[in-house]
Structure 1
Amino acid sequence: MKQVAFAVAFVFLTIISVAQDKTVQELRKESGKSITKDDKDTVAKTWKTGGMFNGTVGQTSLSNWAAGGDQFSFNANGLLSLYAFYKKGIHSWDNSIDMELGYINSTSLGTRKTNDRLDIISKYGCQLFDHMYLTGLFNFRSQFTEGYTYPNDTTRIKQSTFLAPAYVIVALGMDWKPSPTFSLFLSPITSRWVIVRDDSLSAKGAYGVDTGRTSRNEIGAYLTATVNREIIKNLTYKAKLDLFSNYKHNPQNIDLFMTNLLSMNVYKGFSFNLGADLIYDDDVRTFGKEKNAPRLQVRQFIGIGYQRKF
């Protein structure tokens, strides 16, 4: 099952991204051009910065409703994506940060988290030939707040928090950029740290970290692909795919992390959003009848909200 999910995710991401288009990511290409601020200033600008904010909200209330349901429910989700791209000669430096947080509040269940992500990427590359860069990569991924599972309406079990888990990746490899909207990075030797800086989770040996320890180092192969392109006018697709194989332990069980966001600008910033996130981590063994097996984790959402690019 997980092999099929990996193949489908990667093929879909690669096919949709290779074509050229006119999107915000074209600033990478433009950033290599020399732009002077005025006649007296000849210092070339080689940076381009910007980002996107996407917020969605929803609310439902019932009064004397015979069909039943919660008297009140409210949900909100926010995504802030920022970038800073540098290009001068054969050198490039791409930096991005994605921050996402979502909650739902209902009469019967109270407030629960629906989404929580902090993802930072920095890549420095030296161009070898057309579209190919020798690149060093740093990636940090974690979350902002505590997360729980709910066996029943009155019980909750802590599953995560800031830096528990967190993933730090340092890699050297090749970065292929066939268009300004697509990047494919591959490293055969990558160092990854899994961090669990929470006493209760560390004591349980959560996320594959040895019981009582706060981190675990893994050496393996790493692939990451990113795309941000306008499919047609006002319809944008943004995605990221990470694959990691740990040489030290079960290298055939590849960890997967993928985010997808399809956004259509409906009218003056108001947008329709369709998203899906996929995660498979062989060390997250909290599923199945015995609560000791990994599973493909899936999150999908549909919403109408406000989107602003800057």
Structure 2
Amino acid sequence: MKRISTFFLIILFCGQVFAQEEVALIPQDTSYWLKEIGGGLNLNQAAFSGNWQGGGVNSVALGIYLVGRANYAKEKWSWDNTMDFIYGVVKNKGEDGRKSNDRIFLDSKVGYKINDKWNYFFAVNFLSQFAPGYEFPEDQEKMLISKFANPAYLTTSLGIEYKPNDEFSLRMSPLSPRWTFVTDTDLYLNVPNNYGVEIGETVRTEWLAFSLLADYNKKLSDNLSLMIRYQMFANYETFAFDAIDHRLDFGLTAKVSNLVNVSLTSLMIYDLDQDSKIQFSQGLALGIAFKRGNFPKKK
């Protein structure tokens, strides 16, 4: 709960900073910047009387998210920055609290315009999680299987981008080195494959690789927006169909009022270094939200 409290304070602080920037005197050069930050708090709760016969368990779930972007564009040069932080916990009566969601996504891209639809680009991308994650075997103590920087992925990419409009972009990089970090050298005791990092080491480097990132953000109506992000990573040295990494993020948000929204999110991952099967998570939440920025509203 301390992590959630700290994270929520960060959201409030960031919102206040952006609010102050809106009324501050803006230097001439900042006209090339578009900035936006948003966040929210979701709470779910269920309670049953002691004589409830329908089955069920008392529970509380709390989720926090913080998203932001800051884009610079001048003449043929552009610099786009994105962050996506999510953290959630659920506490069922008689059980320890467990993570329901945990994501750190940071992306920064420098682009040079070729024409109205194509750009050269160089990008850096970071993926990890905030807090420890556990597996809960029956009749056994919980086992640590992940935590911050265990694993973490740092990917750089150089290539070409197709961006026909403000809603869709597709990056293709034939040169995309990736570093996988597992800083806890004892984690392999609970995760035998050690997320692809050699046991005893803390970093795995994949120099020769191809990556692809497709991003789609669509305002379906005044109160409904859609986000889809697909990432692919293929190591040339171990190239095989079942060795290609895939990640698909999906988000659908409906605005109920200026402060309240409903969101549906899902995440699918296929990574042979983690598991031989597709991993899937999904969440539905109602909560309060805020957004500030100077991006033009999409029609």
Question: How would you bin the TM-score normalised by the shorter chain?
Answer: 0.7 to 0.9
Aligned residue runs from structure 1 range 53-64, under 5 A: 53-63=39-49, 64=51
Residue 217 (str. 1) matches residue 186 (str. 2)? no
Secondary structure, in 3 states, of the residue corresponding to 1:207?
helix
Residue number in structure 1 paired with 2:230: 241
Residue number in structure 2 paired with 1:180: 166
Cα distance, 1:68 vs structure 2? 2.9
AA paired with 2:131?
T
Deviates more, 1:117-126 or 1:242-251: 242-251
Q: Which among 258, 267, 272 is matched to residue 268 of structure 1?
A: 258
Aligned residue pairs total: 263
Aligned residue runs from structure 1 range 276-295, under 5 A: 276-285=266-275, 294-295=276-277
Aligned residue runs from structure 1 range 100-179, under 5 A: 100-152=86-138, 154-179=140-165
The TM-score with structure 2 as length reference comes to 0.84
Residue number in structure 1 paired with 2:52: 65
Q: Deviations over 1:33-90 (max 9, x none)?
A: xxxx68xx754621111122132110011112122322x2000111110111000000
Q: Which runs of 5+ in 2 are unaligned?
A: 1-24, 293-299
The TM-score with structure 1 as length reference comes to 0.81
**Structure 2 CA distance for aligned equivalents of residues 44 and 61 of structure 1:** 51
CA distance 1:278–1:141, shift in 2 (3 Å)? same
CA distance 1:150–1:133, shift in 2 (3 Å)? same
- On the 8 A contact 2:193/2:273 being kept in 1, the answer is no
Q: CA RMSD in A?
A: 1.7
Q: Which runs of 5+ in 1 are unaligned?
A: 1-36, 286-293
Residue number in structure 2 paired with 1:251: 240
Identical-residue share of aligned pairs (%)? 32
Cα distance, 1:106 vs structure 2? 1.1
Cα distance, 1:108 vs structure 2? 2.4
Residue number in structure 1 paired with 2:9: none
**Structure 1 CA distance for aligned equivalents of residues 161 and 59 of structure 2:** 45
Residue 303 (str. 1) matches residue 290 (str. 2)? no
- On the 8 A contact 2:228/2:251 being kept in 1, the answer is yes
CA distance 1:153–1:108, shift in 2 (3 Å)? farther
Deviates more, 1:102-111 or 1:195-204: 195-204
- On the 8 A contact 1:186/1:223 being kept in 2, the answer is yes
CA distance 1:58–1:42, shift in 2 (3 Å)? closer
